[in-house]
Structure 1
Amino acid sequence: MTYFKAVRRRTFWLGALLAVASLVGCGTPPTYKLRPVTGQSPGTFSLAHSKAVEDERHAVRHLDAAKSIVYSQNFGGGGAALGLLLGPLGVAANASMIDSNTEADAVRLRGKLTLAPRELFLAAATQQGLEVVDDAAAGAPGRTLATPYLFVSKTDNDRLLTAAAVRLEYGQGTDQWSGVYMYQLPSSYQLDDLARLTPEMQARLGTEAAQGFSALAAFIAKEAPQQDGQAKGGTEKDFSYKSDLLTPRIEIEMNGRFIARSGDLIWFRSFGGVYAVRTSNIKVMSGGV
């Protein structure tokens, strides 16, 4: 049994790494997300509805009618090993089981969280001096489109991690730049607890989310004047890490650029955007940050 468990474990990781490689692609290597900022409009934003946030997809569900609370989980089935051992039918069956688990969780959680990420980000951005309008002016030239949302991610043992997030998009077509700015909130929850959210827990989550969006808005506001065309990464240090917030169940070592430590948070830039992750949910593998 020990031998077969070892084989399954190695096969599982091989499948996971192949999946990541397929997302990265075989052409131009990925680059770190450096937000373009023009001198004419370094801090002008329009609240938007990004399809990347609001479209339904595998193992992702929305927990509110506004599609601003995004739930993600990839537990269920036999993992990547099942797909590799059983071929295409195994992959399809495994994906179906994971998606069914996601839907079952979402049914329990849907409508339980009453916070409004768009309003929280708008208030935070305005306080930081950023010019933000609602989506009526989304097509105005020079504006960066901002889609705020709350991210809820399931990790081991039905533990849920939460994060304030905003997806930024600039430009159109093949020239469009996009990136996610995400700030992990301090509290975690059991699935059962969040499904039976008390007023006290609701208030705490709302307060933490407001603080998270405030921190993101402050970072974005500070970032803008320092850039002309692209972000300056001269003081950012290369390192590698694993995080169960970003890759739950399959903790894959990834590369990033360390920005700063703030309390129990590590701020860093990745190929997907800028993240602030709790030290309890990130393992620094190399780089000594």
Structure 2
Amino acid sequence: MGEWEYMGATDQDALLTERFERDRPHLRAVAYRMLGSLAEADDALQEAWIRANEAGVAGVENLGGWLTTVVSRVCLNMLRSRDRRREDPLDARPGEPRTAAGPAGPDPEEEALTADSVGVALLVVLDTLGPAERVAFVLHDLFAVPFEDIAPLLERTPAAVRQLASRARRRVRGTTPAPAPDALRRRRVVEAFLAATRGGDLAALLNLLHPDVVLHADRMVVPTPEPIVVSGGLTVAQGAMAAMGRARFTGLALVDGDFALAMAPQGRLRLVLVFTLADDGLVTGIEIVAEPDRLAGMELAVPA
């Protein structure tokens, strides 16, 4: 029995409240990596708090681990529910859950900063995993929870959970060939493009683009009845400046083994930018892909 067994109900409630608030940053981090959205993570924490209160903590030996399990179980249920409605467009899904952060949920800037700190590419790859794989990988690989502790949550054996995490790890790392010999230069150019777009630095962007650069965007990017083709450094750069809002949710990713940019608001892939470079390092072509079938056919991985 734990120390909770010898406390009155009021004392247990007070200590549970204190511990939950102390662990909130950790619990929110776990939920965010599982769900890819701060609004959904906050919603999961609210549901976990209700469940923890209803269950009581008498006899709990490891309160921190127990709270992590409660949050993880809520996230697992949310992921399974999401899988059942994954065919719905993101914009057509029910409104974001109302959270303690306010009627509109977390601030978009906080959402963007959090996605950037975790890694947009990681969130994108995690979103391609099944619920059990995602939970196993997040808990074990990102938060060092032993397989033996994850197994009851997923109703699997520790060996089966190990296999789930291993499969997820291979997806995160990718299976495409290693990047080309000029990969470092390509990475720097793509990162510089993103930095200039986020910062609204038109001059820096123009320095990266070939004067005759051509941008192709499929019909789902805007969307429009037909694909869009834009040419000329200034025109392409000005278009990129108009997409500064999108750039906040965009990050470096490996796409089919090459460095590219992936945009993923709420951790869900919406479009990919693929770059063509000349021998001098200038960008001669940009392809923006948003058609779901084409996105599904791309292999995305997390850059090392």
Instruction: Compare relative contact order (CA 8 Å, sep 6+) and give the higher one, 1 or 2.
Output: 1
Tell me the TM-score normalised to structure 2 length. 0.29
User: More helix per residue: 1 or 2?
Assistant: 2
- Per the normalisation by structure 1, the TM-score is 0.30
Which has more strand, going by share of residues?
Answer: 1
For the pair shown, which has the larger CA radius of gyration, 1 or 2? 2
